[in-house]
Structure 1
Amino acid sequence: MNSVSADQLVLFTATLAVAILSPGPGVIAVSQSAFALGRGRAMPYGWGLAFGASLWCLFSLLGLTMLFGLMPWTYTALKIAGGAYLIWIAWRMWRHAADPLPGPAGGRRGTGFAAGIALNLSNPKPALFYSAVILSIFPPPLSALDKGAVYLTAVSVELGFYSALASMMALPWLRRRYYAAKFWIDRGAGLAIGLLGLSLILRH
C-alpha cells in the first residue's frame, strides 16, 4: 500500500489553491456577505463554505464518483437540485438589493455556518475535480491514515482561503465602496450566482 509523501501533499495543496481562486458561487457569496455584514458575520459563513467544499473531497475519497459512474442519474439529480438552490439564493439577492443594511443587532438569514455548507454542497462538480486530482497525485490504494491526511490538507486550504477572503472583503475602505453601490453590487452578485445555477442545470 502506498504512503502519501510530503511532496504529494504540497502538490495537492498547490493544485487546490490554484483551482479555488476561480470565482464561483461561494467566492461571490462570502464577498457580498463580508461587504454587507462585516467580518464577524461573514467569517462563520466562510467557514461553512470551506467545510462544505471539503466534504466533496471526503466524499471523493470514500468513492462518491464511483456511485456517479454506476448510477449517472444521481449526478444529474444533484446538479438539478443544486442549480435550483443557487437560483433561489440569486433571486433573494436580487430581490433584497434595495433593502437597507441590517442594524448592529440584525442579521441576514442564510449567511451562517449551515448556509455556507449548503451553498457549496449545491454543486457536485467539485467531487469530480477532487477525484481527478486525487487519482493523479495519490496512486491507490490509500490507507485510512493517508485519506485522513489528504482530507485535512483540503480542509486547511479551504478554511485558509475563505477566512482570508472574508477578512479582506470586510476591510473598512472596501465596505465603504460597497455601501455606495450596494444595489448594483447585490444585483450583480445575484445575477452571477443565478447564471452559475442555470449553467449547472443545463450543462452536461
Structure 2
Amino acid sequence: MDLSPYLVMVATLSLAILSPGPAIIAATQTAFAHGRDRALPYGIGLATGASLWCLFALLGLAVVFRLHPALFSGMKVLGGLYLIWMSWGLWRAATLPLPAAADGRFGRSFWGGIVLNLSNPKPALFYSALILSVFPDPLSVARQIGIYAACLSTELFWYVVVVLVMSTTAMRSRYFAARFWIDRAAAVALFGLGLVLIFQR
C-alpha cells in the first residue's frame, strides 16, 4: 500500500489543526485556566467531534459519487477553489489578532468538546476538499476506513499534545510566537493542494 497520500493528508491536516481557530484556542485556554485533568477530556472530545466531520465527508462523497459519477470532476474543481480560498484566509489571519475563543456554552467536558466542533460545519468542506485532492479516485470501503483512522489519530494526537503542553504556563509565549509561521505554512500547503485538485486529471 502506498503510504504517501496518507502522509500528505496527515501533514496538511496537522497544519490546519494547529492554525489557531475557536476549537484549538478553547483547548488552549481550558488548559491554561483549569489544568490538564479537566482540559484533557475536553481536548479528546474536540478531536473526536472534528473527526466525525471526516466520517460524514467520506460517507457523503461515497454516496454522491456512486449515484452521480459525473459530479466527480465538478466537485474536484469546487474543492480546489475552497482550499485556495481557505489558504488566503489563513495567510491574512497570520497578521491579524487571534479570533475569539469559543466560550463554555457547551461545557468543558468530553461531550462539550464534541458538540463544540460539531456546531461548526466548515470542517466538512475542508475534509471533503482534502480527501478529494489527496485521494482523487473513488474510494473503497477499506480505504475509507484507513482515511478515517488516520484523521482520527491525527486529531487526537494534536489536541492531546496541545492540552498537555499548554498546561505548562511556560509554553504560552512560545505558542503565540509560532502562530505566524504556523498560519503561513498551512496557507501555502492548502494553496498547493487546491491547485493540484483543480488541474489534476
| TM, length-normalised to structure 2 | 0.62
1:56 and 2:53 correspond = yes
Please tell me the residue identity of whatever aligns with 2:149.
L
Q: Residue 139 of structure 1: CA displacement?
A: 2.1
Helix, strand or coil: the match of 1:126?
helix
Could you tell me how far apart the structure 1 residues matched to 2:137 and 2:171 are? 46
1:112 and 2:109 correspond = yes
Matched-pair contact (CA < 8 Å) for 1:35–1:174: no
- Alignment map for 1:52-91 (pairs within 5 Å): 52-63=49-60, 90=103
Name the counterpart of 1:142. Answer: 139
Q: Residue 174 of structure 1: CA displacement?
A: 5.9
1:158 and 2:161 correspond = no
1:82-113 CA distance string (max 9 Å, x none):
xxxxx9x54x68xxxxxxxxxxxxxxx81110
| TM, length-normalised to structure 1 | 0.61
Name the counterpart of 2:2. Answer: 5
Could you tell me how far apart the structure 2 residues matched to 1:133 and 1:5 are? 17
1:52-111 CA distance string (max 9 Å, x none):
000000000001795xx9xxxxxxxxxxxxxxxxx9x54x68xxxxxxxxxxxxxxx811
Match of 2:35 among 28, 33, 38: 38
Match of 2:119 among 119, 122, 139: 122
Could you tell me how far apart the structure 1 residues matched to 2:36 and 2:118 are? 23
**Superposition RMSD on alpha carbons, in Å?**
2.5
Q: Residue 32 of structure 1: CA displacement?
A: 1.2
The structure with the larger Rg is 1
Q: Which runs of 4+ in 1 moved over 6 A?
A: none
Could you tell me how far apart the structure 2 residues matched to 1:24 and 1:165 are? 13
Identity across the alignment (%):
52
Q: Residue 140 of structure 1: CA displacement?
A: 2.8
How many residues align? The count is 137
Helix, strand or coil: the match of 1:62?
helix
User: Quick one: structure 1 residues 134 and 174, their matched pair in 2 at CA, closer, same or farther if it must change by over 3 Å?
Assistant: closer
